[in-house]
Every structure is written in C-alpha cells, then in structure tokens.
Amino acid sequence: MFNTLSDRLTSVLQNLRGKGRLSEADIDATAREIRVALLEADVALPVVRTFIAKVKERAKGSEVSQALNPAQQVVKIVNEELVGILGGETRRLNLAKNPPTVIMLAGLQGAGKTTLAGKLAKWLRGQGHTPMLVACDLQRPNAVTQLQVVGERAGVPVFAPEPGNGVGDPVDVARRGIDEAKRAQHDVVLVDTAGRLGVDEEMMRQAIDIRAAVQPDEVLFVVDAMIGQDAVNTATAFRDGVGFTGVVLTKLDGDARGGAALSVREVTGQPILFASNGEKLEDFDVFHPDRMASRILGMGDMLTLIEQAEQAFDADQAEAAAVKMGSGQLTLEDFLEQMLTLRKMGPIANLLGMLPGAGQMKDQLANLDEKHLDRVQAIIRGMTPAERDDPKIINASRRLRIANGSGVRVSEVNDLVNRFFEARKMMSQMAGRFGL
C-alpha cells in the first residue's frame, strides 16, 4: 500500500547520505520533498503541515545527537514523527472488568465491517476469548447471512433475528444479542451495524441508538483505506455522529496511496487499533504505529538499531565503524571491538535478529549462545595484530597456531574466518542499501 510513498521517502532520505553536516537549506529542501511525497500519498493537508513543521524544527534544533550522522538523524526524526501521527504507543483493546466486553462496529457500507467481525472474532478466540457475533445490519439484504458465514468460518456463534419477521429493529436485536451473550457466558460480543454508501442521518441515528442501548466498551470505526481523502471526511462525520473509541483500517493490501492511514488518527484524535489487509480471515493484525512507520520508511528494524547504537556507541567510534562497514574494510580487530560493545547491549541473538534479512538466519540465531561468543573472542585474541588487520593472510599454519593458542579446534578458526568474510560482504551490501 505504501510503496510509492515509501520509495519517495527512502530516496529523499538517501540524498542526505554522505553529507557531513546539514545546512538549513538542506533541511528545507528535504522537508519540501517530504511534504510533496506525503501530499501525493493523499495525506490530509493539516496533517502534512504539522508533520513538516515538527520535522524541520527538530532537525534544525539542538537535540541533534552526537552518536548519529546527519542522515541518520533525519531518518530518526522522520521516523519518530511518523510514529507520532500514527498514534505513538500500540493501543490495546479495552476489555471490560465485568464481561461481556461489548464491541460495536460502525462504518460505511463496503468498508469491511462484516469481514472484520469474523477476523476479530477469530483473533479473539486465538487469545483465549469466547466471542459471539450479533447481526444488527438489517439494512443490506445479505448482511445477516454473510455474518453467519463469516461466523462459521471463524468458529463462533452468531446471534441474528429470526427470519420472516420483516426487517426487524436493530436496536432490539442488539439488546437481545447482549442478553444471549450473558446467558451463554460469552466474554466478548461483537455488534455488526448497518452502513450506507455515504454518511446519512438515518444510519447515524440508528448507530447512536444502538450505542445507547448496548453501552459498548469500544466503538470501532471501520474505514476503507483505499477511499483516500474521503476517509478523513467520513471519519469526522462518524466522530461527530455516533462517536468512536478506535479505528480499524481495512484494505491496506490495496495499491492506493495510503494517506487515509496516515491522517485518520491525527484528524480524529482516536487511535488505530487494527489493520486488515486481505479478504481472508487471517489477513488481520494489531496495528503497531512503530512497525507501520518503519514499514513506510522501508527500513525494517534498522531504525531500532540506530536507536540502540545511539545508546551504546560513542559518536566517533560509531561513525568510524559505519564507514568501515560500508566500504567493506572491517577488520577482525574492529569486529572484536564491536562485539565487546554489542555484548554490553544485551544478548547478541536479539540484536542480530533485528537486522534486515535476519529471518533467513533464524536457525543459526537460535543456536547462537554466549559461550560460543567467548570462544570467538578467544580466537581473535590469539591472532597477531597483522592477522586481525588483514585476515586474508591467515593461512593453514597460522590457523593451526591460533587454534592451539586459544584452545579450540582448527575447524572453529576456519569457521570464524569464513563467516567474517561473509559478514563483511553482507554488511557492506546492507550499508549500501540503506544509505547509512
């Protein structure tokens, strides 16, 4: 969904790469490009304005950290501001102290409410809850049947009005649904409501009446992220009408520009709780502002590394290491030094796990234990400075000497040297890719 925006932002930020210092003009130019990228992605104008103002102020301000180079600093600021407009902390579902928790779904027709009801029900079941669905969308001819199908797939019961009684009263169905949930001891009730193609008074009135009748713990406004700028208007209308406590974005798998996702929280002041990204029940996730921001910036958990590096490294050392990594000139001496610094930051497997591409190394990471690292340290310490500086000179007889000196097998020395070459290659590729 955010491909275009992501490409644009990545390239804007990459243009800063290699600059030793950023002038005001550099920052202004970067801010302008980010502004255009956001507007083209359909982000609402007031949101863009606030965002750009904050980024500029912070980039020019004195908070600038010694541990990062200018490009990294701007990446960090843009990332943090993105996380901010997406809501900051992950917002969890509010569960009632006295079950059942009642969750009401509201939104336009076609937004994906019914589908979401199934997804949410399945997800809740996975969390050990015993949800029940209540069909209050009596407007759309097929809505009740559709909810029943979805409920069956999710393996949860559906409370629906008996067929053959005319259209029925959704408020009454909602009330009876809650009673039934209490009786059958379901701990969460999801109330699906009717939407219209556009915001209209009668629909809003009905939603307000249902809300008053069932006193939900959460009202989730479901919005199709593909509808662009309209999402903001619809969200405002629902906020001022029935009101809501959280947002669910649907159709994030589409190829639209994604501005809705970036605007809705800032414009309505309500957090995004979940994201839907496909038609299948599994295509659904808790919304994490920080993960979404790094996805938009296309930098994976590299950003986390920036943060941790900032805490653990001193500025000169970090800069020197980054340059060496990028140019493929890392030596075993640097490697040892960095390993010692990294080990101060916590278990290595956690850190390596954050590197892009680390997914493929999962098995190796699982086997990585700290004792092994002690041996690696011992091997490197058993090398002469010349060997650490240029590991290529470590031939068979040197390997034997190092192995004997550090009390390990020759194969372990071989392993280390080979892996070092591989790692050096990977790091320099990565540094190129991320412009760091």
Q: Which of 10, 69, 101, 250 binds ligand GDP (CB under 6 A)?
A: 250
Query: Measured between alpha carbons, how far is 277 from 300 in angstroms, rounded to an integer?
Result: 19
259 is in an annotated binding site: no
Min dist CB 195 to ligand GDP, Å, is 5
Min dist CB 143 to ligand GDP, Å, is 6
β-pairing, 284-286 vs 272-276, is: antiparallel
Is residue 193 close enough to count as binding ligand GDP by CB under 6 A?
Answer: no
Min dist CB 164 to ligand GDP, Å, is 23
- Category of 258 on φ-ψ map: left (φ > 0), alpha (ψ -120 to 50) or beta: left
170 versus 195: smaller Cβ distance to ligand GDP: 195
Q: Phi and psi of 328, rounded to 5°?
A: 75, 20
114 is in an annotated binding site: yes
Is residue 258 close enough to count as binding ligand GDP by CB under 6 A?
Answer: no
Joined together, the tokens standing for residue 78 give 């843009």
Number of residues that make up the chain: 436
Quote the Cα angle for 218-86-345, to 5°. 110
Query: Measured between alpha carbons, how far is 407 from 398 in angstroms, rounded to an integer?
Result: 14
Q: Which of 161, 195, 289, 300 binds ligand GDP (CB under 6 A)?
A: 195
263 versus 276: smaller Cβ distance to ligand GDP: 276
What single-letter DSSP state applies at residue 94?
-
User: How many residues contact ligand GDP, by CB under 6 A?
Assistant: 18
Cis peptide before 271 (omega within 30 of 0): no
Q: Which of 8, 56, 91, 113 binds ligand GDP (CB under 6 A)?
A: 113
3-state secondary structure of 193: strand
Q: Which of 35, 186, 251, 265 binds ligand GDP (CB under 6 A)?
A: 251
Q: Judged by CB under 6 A, which stretch of 11-19, 59-67, 277-285, 411-419 contacts ligand GDP?
A: 277-285
108 is in an annotated binding site: yes
109 is in an annotated binding site: yes
Burial label for 357, CB within 10 Å (0-12, 13-18, 19+), is exposed
Min dist CB 286 to ligand GDP, Å, is 14
111 versus 303: smaller Cβ distance to ligand GDP: 111
192 is in an annotated binding site: yes
Min dist CB 138 to ligand GDP, Å, is 13
Query: Measured between alpha carbons, how far is 94 from 262 in angstroms, rounded to an integer?
Result: 23
Is residue 24 close enough to count as binding ligand GDP by CB under 6 A?
Answer: no
Min dist CB 222 to ligand GDP, Å, is 6
Residue 61: count of CB within 10 angstroms of its CB: 9
Residues pairing with 275 in the sheet: 249, 285
54 is in an annotated binding site: no
Q: Judged by CB under 6 A, which stretch of 49-57, 58-66, 108-116, 181-189 contacts ligand GDP?
A: 108-116
Q: Phi and psi of 362, rounded to 5°?
A: -50, -45
Query: Measured between alpha carbons, how far is 406 from 397 in angstroms, rounded to an integer?
Result: 14
Q: Which of 84, 110, 347, 405 binds ligand GDP (CB under 6 A)?
A: 110
Compute the Cα dihedral for 221, 175, 187, 156 and give only its sign.
negative
Q: Which of 279, 316, 390, 422 binds ligand GDP (CB under 6 A)?
A: 279
239 versus 401: smaller Cβ distance to ligand GDP: 239
110 is in an annotated binding site: yes
- The H or E element spanning position 219 is strand 218-224
Which distant-in-sequence residues (6+ apart) come within 8 Å of 73 by Cβ? Answer: 59, 64, 65
Q: Judged by CB under 6 A, which stretch of 20-28, 270-278, 295-303, 339-347 contacts ligand GDP?
A: 270-278
Is residue 206 close enough to count as binding ligand GDP by CB under 6 A?
Answer: no
116 versus 379: smaller Cβ distance to ligand GDP: 116
From residue 321, give the alpha-carbon distance in Å to each of 41, 333, 429: 36, 11, 15
Residue 46: count of CB within 10 angstroms of its CB: 12
| Interface mask toward ligand GDP for 147-186; x: CB under 6 A | ----------------------------------------
Here the contacts of 51-58 (C-beta below 8 Å, separation 24 or greater) are 51/81, 51/82, 51/85, 54/81, 54/84, 55/31, 55/81, 56/27, 56/28, 56/31
56 is in an annotated binding site: no
Min dist CB 289 to ligand GDP, Å, is 19
Q: Which residues belong to the annotated binding site?
A: 107-114, 192-196, 250-253
Query: Residue numbers of the site for ligand GDP (CB under 6 A)?
Result: 107, 109-115, 195, 250-251, 253-254, 276-279, 283
Binding residues for GTP: 107-114, 192-196, 250-253
